[in-house]
Amino acid sequence: MVAPASDKPTPRDPAVRAITLALSDPFEPREIKFKPQAVKNNRALAIAYVDVRLIQDRLDEVLGAENWQDDYELLQDGSVVCRLRLNLGGDWVTKTDVGSPSEQPDGGDRLKAAFSDALKRAAVKFGIGRYLYRLPAQWVEYDPAKKQIAQVPQLPAFALPRQATPRPAKPAPQSLATVADAPGSPAVTDSKPLPEPKPTGLPTDGKELHRRLREYDAKLAAQKLIQPGALLAHVTQAGVKAGYSANMTEWSGPAIPFAVDAVKAFDQAARAPKAEARPAA
Protein backbone atom coordinates (compact mmCIF):
# COMPACT_ATOMS: atom_id res chain seq x y z
CA MET A 1 0.00 0.00 0.00
CA VAL A 2 1.41 3.37 -1.02
CA ALA A 3 1.51 5.95 1.74
CA PRO A 4 -0.36 9.17 0.91
CA ALA A 5 1.77 12.16 -0.01
CA SER A 6 2.26 14.68 2.77
CA ASP A 7 0.52 18.03 2.39
CA LYS A 8 3.14 19.75 4.52
CA PRO A 9 5.37 22.14 2.54
CA THR A 10 9.06 21.37 2.38
CA PRO A 11 10.97 23.69 4.75
CA ARG A 12 13.11 26.23 2.90
CA ASP A 13 16.87 25.96 3.29
CA PRO A 14 17.98 29.14 5.16
CA ALA A 15 21.14 29.32 3.05
CA VAL A 16 19.16 29.20 -0.21
CA ARG A 17 16.70 31.76 1.13
CA ALA A 18 19.58 34.14 1.88
CA ILE A 19 20.87 33.71 -1.67
CA THR A 20 17.46 34.42 -3.22
CA LEU A 21 17.09 37.52 -1.05
CA ALA A 22 20.46 38.77 -2.23
CA LEU A 23 19.60 38.06 -5.87
CA SER A 24 16.29 39.94 -5.65
CA ASP A 25 17.63 43.01 -3.83
CA PRO A 26 16.81 46.20 -5.82
CA PHE A 27 19.60 47.77 -7.83
CA GLU A 28 21.00 51.22 -7.11
CA PRO A 29 18.69 53.90 -8.59
CA ARG A 30 21.53 55.29 -10.72
CA GLU A 31 21.77 51.91 -12.47
CA ILE A 32 18.12 51.88 -13.57
CA LYS A 33 17.43 53.09 -17.11
CA PHE A 34 14.15 54.25 -18.61
CA LYS A 35 12.76 54.15 -22.14
CA PRO A 36 9.55 55.60 -23.56
CA GLN A 37 6.79 53.08 -24.16
CA ALA A 38 4.38 55.71 -25.46
CA VAL A 39 4.88 59.36 -26.40
CA LYS A 40 2.33 62.16 -26.44
CA ASN A 41 3.66 65.59 -27.38
CA ASN A 42 6.38 66.33 -24.83
CA ARG A 43 5.34 63.59 -22.40
CA ALA A 44 6.33 59.93 -22.37
CA LEU A 45 5.28 56.84 -20.45
CA ALA A 46 8.54 55.69 -18.85
CA ILE A 47 9.40 51.99 -18.60
CA ALA A 48 12.28 50.87 -16.37
CA TYR A 49 14.94 48.37 -17.44
CA VAL A 50 18.51 47.37 -16.63
CA ASP A 51 21.51 46.50 -18.77
CA VAL A 52 22.25 42.79 -19.10
CA ARG A 53 25.74 43.34 -17.65
CA LEU A 54 24.09 44.38 -14.39
CA ILE A 55 22.38 40.97 -14.29
CA GLN A 56 25.71 39.23 -14.86
CA ASP A 57 27.36 41.32 -12.13
CA ARG A 58 24.62 40.41 -9.65
CA LEU A 59 25.07 36.70 -10.41
CA ASP A 60 28.84 37.01 -9.95
CA GLU A 61 28.51 38.99 -6.71
CA VAL A 62 25.97 36.70 -5.04
CA LEU A 63 26.96 33.27 -6.37
CA GLY A 64 30.41 33.61 -7.87
CA ALA A 65 31.19 33.13 -11.55
CA GLU A 66 31.67 29.38 -11.05
CA ASN A 67 28.16 28.85 -9.66
CA TRP A 68 26.01 29.93 -12.59
CA GLN A 69 25.79 28.82 -16.22
CA ASP A 70 23.83 29.95 -19.27
CA ASP A 71 23.26 28.39 -22.68
CA TYR A 72 21.17 29.55 -25.62
CA GLU A 73 19.16 28.21 -28.53
CA LEU A 74 18.35 30.31 -31.61
CA LEU A 75 14.81 29.83 -32.93
CA GLN A 76 13.76 30.17 -36.58
CA ASP A 77 11.85 33.41 -35.99
CA GLY A 78 14.97 35.12 -34.56
CA SER A 79 13.99 34.63 -30.93
CA VAL A 80 16.47 33.13 -28.46
CA VAL A 81 15.89 30.62 -25.65
CA CYS A 82 18.06 31.06 -22.54
CA ARG A 83 18.56 28.28 -19.99
CA LEU A 84 20.00 29.81 -16.84
CA ARG A 85 21.35 27.38 -14.21
CA LEU A 86 22.26 28.44 -10.66
CA ASN A 87 23.94 26.43 -7.93
CA LEU A 88 21.60 26.94 -4.95
CA GLY A 89 22.74 25.15 -1.82
CA GLY A 90 24.50 22.43 -3.78
CA ASP A 91 21.62 21.80 -6.20
CA TRP A 92 21.64 23.09 -9.77
CA VAL A 93 18.32 24.80 -10.60
CA THR A 94 17.39 25.75 -14.18
CA LYS A 95 15.00 28.48 -15.34
CA THR A 96 14.18 29.03 -19.03
CA ASP A 97 12.72 31.93 -20.99
CA VAL A 98 12.66 33.42 -24.49
CA GLY A 99 14.04 36.76 -25.66
CA SER A 100 12.83 38.69 -28.70
CA PRO A 101 14.99 40.50 -31.27
CA SER A 102 14.93 44.28 -31.34
CA GLU A 103 13.78 46.49 -34.21
CA GLN A 104 17.29 47.75 -34.99
CA PRO A 105 18.27 47.82 -38.68
CA ASP A 106 21.45 45.78 -38.21
CA GLY A 107 20.88 42.01 -38.03
CA GLY A 108 23.71 41.50 -35.57
CA ASP A 109 22.28 44.11 -33.19
CA ARG A 110 18.83 42.48 -33.39
CA LEU A 111 20.30 39.08 -32.51
CA LYS A 112 22.40 40.52 -29.69
CA ALA A 113 19.29 42.14 -28.22
CA ALA A 114 17.48 38.78 -28.33
CA PHE A 115 20.26 37.08 -26.37
CA SER A 116 20.30 39.86 -23.76
CA ASP A 117 16.53 39.84 -23.46
CA ALA A 118 16.49 36.06 -22.98
CA LEU A 119 19.03 36.17 -20.15
CA LYS A 120 17.21 39.02 -18.40
CA ARG A 121 13.87 37.21 -18.63
CA ALA A 122 15.35 33.97 -17.27
CA ALA A 123 17.04 35.90 -14.43
CA VAL A 124 13.69 37.45 -13.47
CA LYS A 125 12.46 33.93 -12.67
CA PHE A 126 15.19 33.80 -10.01
CA GLY A 127 14.00 37.17 -8.66
CA ILE A 128 16.66 39.40 -10.25
CA GLY A 129 15.01 42.69 -11.23
CA ARG A 130 11.50 41.27 -10.84
CA TYR A 131 10.48 44.31 -8.78
CA LEU A 132 10.86 46.47 -11.90
CA TYR A 133 7.67 44.92 -13.29
CA ARG A 134 5.77 46.21 -10.24
CA LEU A 135 6.77 49.83 -10.72
CA PRO A 136 3.80 52.16 -11.28
CA ALA A 137 3.47 53.69 -14.75
CA GLN A 138 4.74 57.29 -14.84
CA TRP A 139 4.30 59.99 -17.47
CA VAL A 140 7.40 62.21 -17.50
CA GLU A 141 8.93 65.02 -19.55
CA TYR A 142 10.15 63.96 -23.01
CA ASP A 143 12.52 65.65 -25.45
CA PRO A 144 11.12 65.07 -28.98
CA ALA A 145 14.25 66.49 -30.62
CA LYS A 146 16.61 64.06 -28.84
CA LYS A 147 13.96 61.32 -28.71
CA GLN A 148 14.73 60.58 -25.09
CA ILE A 149 13.24 60.97 -21.63
CA ALA A 150 14.15 64.33 -20.10
CA GLN A 151 12.96 63.64 -16.55
CA VAL A 152 14.08 60.75 -14.34
CA PRO A 153 11.05 59.06 -12.76
CA GLN A 154 10.90 58.76 -8.98
CA LEU A 155 11.24 55.25 -7.57
CA PRO A 156 8.98 54.06 -4.72
CA ALA A 157 10.45 52.86 -1.43
CA PHE A 158 10.18 49.16 -2.30
CA ALA A 159 12.39 49.76 -5.37
CA LEU A 160 15.31 51.08 -3.32
CA PRO A 161 18.09 48.81 -2.02
CA ARG A 162 18.04 47.97 1.66
CA GLN A 163 20.50 50.21 3.48
CA ALA A 164 22.66 49.16 6.37
CA THR A 165 21.43 50.36 9.74
CA PRO A 166 24.05 52.69 11.31
CA ARG A 167 25.51 51.29 14.48
CA PRO A 168 28.56 52.15 16.60
CA ALA A 169 31.77 50.59 15.38
CA LYS A 170 33.53 48.08 17.60
CA PRO A 171 37.14 46.88 17.31
CA ALA A 172 37.60 43.38 15.96
CA PRO A 173 39.41 40.81 18.13
CA GLN A 174 42.71 39.49 16.87
CA SER A 175 41.23 36.16 15.80
CA LEU A 176 38.62 37.84 13.60
CA ALA A 177 41.20 39.95 11.83
CA THR A 178 43.28 36.82 11.23
CA VAL A 179 40.37 34.95 9.65
CA ALA A 180 39.55 37.91 7.44
CA ASP A 181 43.15 38.49 6.46
CA ALA A 182 43.91 34.89 5.53
CA PRO A 183 40.87 33.05 4.20
CA GLY A 184 41.28 29.29 4.35
CA SER A 185 43.31 29.17 7.56
CA PRO A 186 41.81 27.59 10.69
CA ALA A 187 40.08 29.94 13.11
CA VAL A 188 42.43 31.38 15.74
CA THR A 189 41.27 30.71 19.29
CA ASP A 190 43.73 32.97 21.11
CA SER A 191 41.53 35.61 22.71
CA LYS A 192 44.37 37.98 23.69
CA PRO A 193 43.57 41.38 22.19
CA LEU A 194 46.18 43.24 20.24
CA PRO A 195 47.50 46.42 21.85
CA GLU A 196 45.99 48.22 18.87
CA PRO A 197 43.97 46.47 16.12
CA LYS A 198 45.58 46.65 12.71
CA PRO A 199 43.12 48.21 10.27
CA THR A 200 44.83 46.43 7.37
CA GLY A 201 43.73 43.06 8.77
CA LEU A 202 40.11 43.61 7.74
CA PRO A 203 38.65 44.06 4.26
CA THR A 204 38.48 47.71 3.29
CA ASP A 205 35.02 47.50 1.73
CA GLY A 206 32.18 45.17 0.79
CA LYS A 207 33.72 44.16 -2.53
CA GLU A 208 36.94 43.00 -0.91
CA LEU A 209 34.93 41.26 1.82
CA HIS A 210 32.88 39.42 -0.80
CA ARG A 211 36.01 38.38 -2.70
CA ARG A 212 37.71 37.00 0.42
CA LEU A 213 34.60 35.13 1.53
CA ARG A 214 34.25 33.55 -1.91
CA GLU A 215 37.83 32.29 -1.66
CA TYR A 216 37.30 30.95 1.85
CA ASP A 217 33.95 29.41 0.85
CA ALA A 218 35.69 27.57 -2.00
CA LYS A 219 38.41 26.25 0.33
CA LEU A 220 35.90 24.99 2.89
CA ALA A 221 33.95 23.31 0.10
CA ALA A 222 37.14 21.73 -1.26
CA GLN A 223 37.76 20.29 2.21
CA LYS A 224 34.25 18.76 2.12
CA LEU A 225 33.26 20.81 5.19
CA ILE A 226 30.39 22.69 3.52
CA GLN A 227 28.32 22.86 0.35
CA PRO A 228 29.55 25.48 -2.18
CA GLY A 229 28.05 28.87 -1.37
CA ALA A 230 27.02 27.96 2.20
CA LEU A 231 29.42 30.42 3.87
CA LEU A 232 28.39 33.33 1.64
CA ALA A 233 24.72 32.52 2.20
CA HIS A 234 25.19 32.29 5.99
CA VAL A 235 26.97 35.64 6.30
CA THR A 236 24.52 37.35 3.95
CA GLN A 237 21.52 36.04 5.87
CA ALA A 238 23.05 37.11 9.20
CA GLY A 239 23.70 40.56 7.77
CA VAL A 240 20.13 40.95 6.49
CA LYS A 241 18.81 40.02 9.94
CA ALA A 242 21.13 42.64 11.46
CA GLY A 243 19.80 45.33 9.13
CA TYR A 244 22.45 45.34 6.42
CA SER A 245 21.84 45.18 2.68
CA ALA A 246 21.30 41.81 1.03
CA ASN A 247 24.04 42.83 -1.42
CA MET A 248 27.26 42.21 0.50
CA THR A 249 29.36 44.31 -1.88
CA GLU A 250 27.59 47.39 -0.47
CA TRP A 251 28.66 46.69 3.12
CA SER A 252 31.05 49.07 4.84
CA GLY A 253 32.06 50.38 8.27
CA PRO A 254 30.75 48.21 11.15
CA ALA A 255 29.33 45.68 8.70
CA ILE A 256 32.88 44.44 7.99
CA PRO A 257 33.79 43.29 11.54
CA PHE A 258 30.24 41.98 11.88
CA ALA A 259 30.83 39.77 8.83
CA VAL A 260 34.20 38.56 10.13
CA ASP A 261 32.54 37.66 13.44
CA ALA A 262 29.95 35.63 11.53
CA VAL A 263 32.73 33.92 9.53
CA LYS A 264 34.53 32.87 12.72
CA ALA A 265 31.37 31.35 14.20
CA PHE A 266 30.59 29.56 10.92
CA ASP A 267 34.16 28.27 10.63
CA GLN A 268 34.15 26.85 14.14
CA ALA A 269 30.78 25.16 13.56
CA ALA A 270 31.95 23.70 10.23
CA ARG A 271 35.11 22.25 11.79
CA ALA A 272 33.44 20.94 14.96
CA PRO A 273 33.37 17.13 15.20
CA LYS A 274 30.03 15.75 14.11
CA ALA A 275 28.23 13.61 16.65
CA GLU A 276 27.97 9.99 15.53
CA ALA A 277 24.49 8.54 15.34
CA ARG A 278 23.97 5.65 17.76
CA PRO A 279 21.71 2.73 16.92
CA ALA A 280 18.54 2.49 18.95
CA ALA A 281 18.68 0.02 21.80
Spatial distance between the Cα atoms of 92 and 94, rounded to a whole number of angstroms: 7
> What pLDDT is attached to residue 273?
75
Spatial distance between the Cα atoms of 187 and 178, rounded to a whole number of angstroms: 8
pLDDT at 71 over 90: yes
Spatial distance between the Cα atoms of 235 and 246, rounded to a whole number of angstroms: 10
Closest CA to 16 of 132, 127, 98, 142: 127
> What pLDDT is attached to residue 9?
57
Q: What is the CATH number of domain 28-159?
A: 3.30.390
> What pLDDT is attached to residue 187?
40
Which stretch of DSSP H or E encloses residue 34? strand 33-40
> What pLDDT is attached to residue 127?
95
The residue ranking higher by pLDDT, 196 or 69, is 69
The whole-chain average pLDDT of the chain stands at 79
Q: 183-194: per-residue pLDDT in tens? A: 443 443 444 444
Q: What is the rounded average pLDDT of the residues 221-225?
A: 79
- Measuring CA to CA, how many Å separate 165 from each of 115, 159, 257? 38, 18, 14
> What pLDDT is attached to residue 176?
38
Spatial distance between the Cα atoms of 18 and 227, rounded to a whole number of angstroms: 14
> What pLDDT is attached to residue 6?
54
Q: 183, 60 in Cβ contact below 8 A?
A: no
Q: What is the rounded average pLDDT of the residues 79-106?
A: 91
Task: Map out the domains of the chain as residue ranges.
Answer: 28-159, 174-271
Q: 15-63: per-residue pLDDT in tens? A: 888 888 899 999 999 999 998 889 988 899 999 999 999 999 999 999 9
